Amino acid sequence: MLTSLSARIKSLIRAVPDFPIPGIRFRDVMGLVEDADGFREATAALADRFRDAAPEVVVGIEARGFIFGVPVAQELGVGFVPVRKAGKLPGEVRGVDYELEYGTARVEMQEVAPIGVGTRVLLIDDLVATGGSAAAAIELVRGMGGVVVGAGFVVDLPELPGAGRLRDLGVEVFALCSFLGEEE
């Protein structure tokens, strides 16, 4: 079933050339989100893949990680914690700087997040490319004492080092589909 789901998901993801900068082929998952059945199937498949890992909270990375992370958390019956760009969260935060395909950025998490020593965390985002934002989120979770039980993505870009980078951090990585290079 995952093979047919993967094909369906791929058919709903648009390729946008030269966004956000020239030379980047952006994979826009909004076509998947706009398709109610595809979106429901995708979030259910992500939740099912990690159900046995027994996460206690889902962490989603801004912004599309919120779109997929909240329904995954609901499906698993756990809470959701956002990892946001710098300066977007109120109160005390901890942050991590990281590099991405086309620059640098910083992500933050609130200190009051329900992640403590031993809390089992599932990381969700729409896409893994270089792995910079996901590695930064893993660092944030681990810095709060949490244990990352997996990282789920809609899309993997396997020609980029992201999934391998996360595996090198000891995190299980799963994506619903992948795109190689200029593949549509």
Residue type, 85: K
* Distance, CA of 60 to CA of 122 (rounded, Å): 9
- Residue 86 phi/psi, 5-degree rounding, is -55, 140
Give all strands (DSSP E) within the chain, no chain letters: 14-17, 25-28, 57-61, 79-85, 93-100, 103-110, 120-128, 147-156, 173-178
- Residue 168 phi/psi, 5-degree rounding, is -65, -25
Active site positions, annotated: 64, 101
